[in-house]
Amino acid sequence: MTVFTRPKTKTPDIIKDASMSKQKEMMNRHYERLSDAPERGEKVAATFVPGNLNELLMCFDFANNLPEVNAIQSGLRKQSGGYVMEAEKSGHSEDVCTYVKSDIGMMAKGNIGPNGRKLPDPDVLLLSYTGCFTFMKWFELLRQQYKCETIMFHTPYMADGKMTKDMIQYMVKQLKQDVIPKLEKVSGVKFDIDRLREYMRKSAQAEDDLVWVLQSAKTKPSPIDAYFGGIYYIGPIFGAFRGTDDAIDYYRFLRQEVEERIAQGKGPVTPDGDMGKERYRLVVEGPPNYTHFRQFWKMFYDEGAVVVASSYTKVGGTYDFGFRHDPENPLESLAEYCLNVYTNRNLPMRVDMLENYMDEYQADGLLINSIKSCNSFSAGQLLIMREVEKRTGKPAAFIETDLVDPRYFSGANIKNRLESYFQMIEQKRAGVRSAA
């Protein structure tokens, strides 16, 4: 008779690769700069990740504070739960985006950043991507709190599935007539287009290496995890580092690291060390969960599942179709960058993108992580799933978590669904094999 026993397990230390440590050091410096800003007389801008205009802000010597990144940091550090509840106490509903609530709650509790020091009040709020209505409401709240200059840079939604010259001109006009003059006024620094060109040249250089790294997942086995690992990889480019030498160095370093992994035939680095045998290659649609990031990731790598492409790594901007920041046409290029944000693409464009990923990255299936409090991503996800499933004939699955609200992460349930999904892929493969 079978003996039922519980296997013994031990939690090992978290393994990090050198690029992760390098990034950590960059982030620490970034937060120190923010905390020091008032003392050093530096002006601070707050802006969002999607379509952020870091190069432009740098032209005015702003230190760039990104509330979403702060919310992610709070999630990873297990502080967002308290912040979310703090925001609810002040009247924000349970359904509101939890990034917003984490940010609002953090401000209510003294606005202490991940470095343990107070984050500065912004001098300007720059809303450069309007595809998410929550962003507008969020900045309304911040404006009320800080009573500072607020700039809304309107990005037209690509409802017809294309980017037109009119759209770009409309955006360039806004930059010239509204955004740049206001930034000049707040910063007291005159706009210098050559300075912008120089930053954009640097951006493009780092972008080339990032794209190379993300596309390295086409290799079998994939040397990277393009979702869980990918979140680290996009950190500098979508944050306050794009256009800097730091970003160029980081991505060159990262690329070398990945090249080495490919040469050694290695899979991705996970918090438990090198991943074992690659058994499932997945495309993931939707943001991750940050409150149980490691536990969530473990559910994948324990089963040999690696994410080879993800839409979330395109949340700041999409480089897949060749876009790079262009120093020759700086303002037009900024406009294009904003238009290219993943969630600014209409549903058919997103479906096409995911279908291509399935094909180009030789994925076994599509997984959707639907975020309870994110309408930008969640709307239409079931439709996307069905369509990609139909076109590729590959199995898809749907799980639900949240960004930074720990109450919406039901571990056993998610694990159950993921395991079912992986076995479903296995079963389908066996079916195809036996049919052959």
Determine the Cα–Cα distance for residues 91 and 80; give it in Å rounded to an integer: 17
Determine the Cα–Cα distance for residues 201 and 328; give it in Å rounded to an integer: 9
35, 295 contact by CB (below 8 A): no
The DSSP H or E segment spanning 309 is strand 305-310
Q: Quick one: 353 or 414, whose CB is closer to another protein?
A: 414
Q: How many residues bind another protein (CB under 8 A)?
A: 27
Determine the Cα–Cα distance for residues 81 and 101; give it in Å rounded to an integer: 10
Given 33, 143, 182, 415, the residue binding another protein (CB under 8 A): 415
* 11 makes contact with another protein (CB under 8 A): no
Q: Tokens 């923010």 appear where?
A: 34
Question: What residues contact 260, with CB distance under 8 A and at least 6 apart?
Answer: none
* 298 makes contact with another protein (CB under 8 A): no
* 420 makes contact with another protein (CB under 8 A): yes
Neighbours of 126 (CB within 10 A): 25
Task: Report whether the peptide linkage leading into residue 327 is cis, meaning its omega lies within 30 degrees of zero.
Answer: no
158, 346 contact by CB (below 8 A): yes
Sheet architecture: strand order including 365-371: 305-310, 280-285, 365-371, 396-401
Q: Quick one: 63 or 385, whose CB is closer to another protein?
A: 385
* 91 makes contact with another protein (CB under 8 A): no
* 277 makes contact with another protein (CB under 8 A): no
Looking at residue 207, its amino acid is: E
From the list 12-20, 160-168, 285-293, 427-435, the region that binds another protein by CB under 8 A is: 427-435
* 428 makes contact with another protein (CB under 8 A): yes
Determine the Cα–Cα distance for residues 80 and 76; give it in Å rounded to an integer: 8
Given 77, 170, 417, 436, the residue binding another protein (CB under 8 A): 417
Q: Among candidates 99, 169, 110, which has minimal Cα distance to 135?
A: 99
Q: Quick one: 218 or 415, whose CB is closer to another protein?
A: 415
Given 11, 322, 412, 436, the residue binding another protein (CB under 8 A): 412
Using CB under 8 A as the binding rule, the residues of this chain from 352 to 411 that contact another protein are 382, 386, 389, 395-398, 400, 408, 410
* 423 makes contact with another protein (CB under 8 A): yes
Q: Quick one: 118 or 390, whose CB is closer to another protein?
A: 390
Residue 247 CB, nearest distance to another protein (Å)? 38
Residue 389 CB, nearest distance to another protein (Å)? 7
Q: Which residues bind another protein (CB under 8 A)?
A: 1-2, 4, 6-7, 382, 386, 389, 395-398, 400, 408, 410, 412-413, 415-417, 419-420, 423-424, 427-428, 431
